[in-house]
Amino acid sequence: MRKVLSSIIGGIPGAVIVGTAYDGRDGLSKIRSLRPDIVTLDIEMPHLDGMGVLQELRLLPVAERPAVLICSTLTSAGSHAALKALRLGASDVILKDPHSLGAGGDAAKVDLTGKIKALYESKHRCPATSAPRASVATPGSHASPPRTIDLSGKAIEVILIGSSTGGPPVLEQILMALPADLPMPVVVAQHMPRMFTKSISERLDEECALSVVHAEHEMPLLPGSVYITPGGLHSRIKPNAKGRATLIVAEDPKGALYKPSVDELLASGAALGPRALGIVLTGMGADGAIGAKAMHASKGIVIAQDAESCVVYGMPRAVVEAGAASAQLTPPQICAAVRQLAPFGQGRPSSQSAA
């Protein structure tokens, strides 16, 4: 796997491999001396495993921490371990499959290259030592969105969340802060393979006051429940005349770049107009911008995660630059805003995140 990764990364224009390591301790030593921008890290290693390395990296000054791509197997155990690694600070996941990354695995190579480029650009665009910056919209287009929002008294019927690179820990933070008596359902589109989205739903169901399920086609959308879209599929909400919505889970559009597609999910929320709330979290690319524009046009509310708290400020930035963001908030602010929709509920503190 190390040779395959080295071959792919070495072929990325501008990328330089400054070192390789044979175990966790050697890797940690080289990280401290070579100061790389990005590290690919296996979970299973002798002497000091990937979790141990991540815990040690958390002791470094923020400016000296590299972005970490964790290598994981596409199994239940591997996906749960990868999610723990993300909670410990890893930025994203690489599937530990030399065959898909080797000959003929063009999609996997493109995905890895995209992640490395996005993490590098994010690290150097927003250095940890810089002061917080105001959001900047595209010149001549739209003003920067507000840094606060008041949702109290809003008649929201559904919350739609889109998330990608760096998203699972933020998603967990938000959902764990919400009370069991949340008066509307939450539907999530997280860019991950199906095994990982299943593991996310299992963990969140154990940790959250809300009921969390791995979504299935035509499930009724119930208050106080969270529906995680399976990887490889898309989800859309389908309102009905009785005021209750159902969830459509399907393969179409099969040619979508991201599966699940945040655009598909948010666009379906436009049918509810001001009764839908969309939230776009950290992630590379622009998935969610088209759907957010549809929601915005129908007077729906869309919150984008702020640049400073994003692992990759791609998806939220696209929403902001499209003029579709009602507000741009930090994860704790998002937690507080959504909790306004259930003022008498008792969720967990927004800062809590179990390891």
Rounded Cα distance, 141 and 144, in Å: 10
CA nearest to 70, candidates 195, 201, 166, 136:
166
CA nearest to 308, candidates 168, 138, 170:
170
> 120 Cβ partners below 8 Å, 6+ apart?
37, 38, 67
CA nearest to 191, candidates 92, 113, 317:
92
Q: Are 303 and 325 in contact (CB under 8 A)?
A: yes
Enumerate the active-site residues: 164, 191, 287
Adjacent-strand bridge partners of 302: 278
> 108 Cβ partners below 8 Å, 6+ apart?
95, 97, 100, 101
Q: Are 245 and 218 in contact (CB under 8 A)?
A: no
- 10 Å Cβ neighbour count for 155? 10
Q: Which stretches of 152-282 are DSSP H helices?
A: 167-176, 194-207, 262-269
Strands (E), the chain: 38-42, 67-72, 92-95, 158-163, 186-190, 211-214, 219-220, 225-228, 234-239, 245-250, 276-280, 301-305, 327-329
